[in-house]
Amino acid sequence: MAFPLQLSVEKRTEDVPKWLPAATSVGSVVAAFIFSGIVLWLIGSQPLRVYEFFFRATFGSWASFSDTMVKATPLILVGLACTVAFKMKLWNIGAEGQFY
């Protein structure tokens, strides 16, 4: 029995504009804030107050910023370790669990 779909790999001929990766990242963050704001509004919260709380809890003082960096550093290091594995064409989906 033959597989009904055929796959072909073609090299892209057009260049991606330099602004497109940055616009995609910024657009994703904006879309996430809008979507989560809608969900927060639907459950009866005030999205702007929630976002203000998140901002103050993360960057409100040097102590809170330091705490954020202490908690983020292991995840950043795991991400850097995964990039090395991905460059070697290895796939590691359990890096965070292996770290802790």
pLDDT digits (tens, 9 = 90+) for 62-89: 999 999 999 999 889 888 888 888 888 8
Q: Please name the residues in contact with 74: beta carbons below 8 A apart, sequence gap of 6 or more.
A: 99, 100
pTM of the model: 0.63
Burial of 42 (0-12, 13-18, 19+ CB in 10 A): exposed
Domain residue ranges of the chain, discontinuous segments joined by +: 19-60, 62-100
pLDDT digits (tens, 9 = 90+) for 10-45: 887 788 888 999 999 999 999 999 999 999 999 999
Residue 74 structure tokens = 């292991």
Residue 26 structure tokens = 């910024």
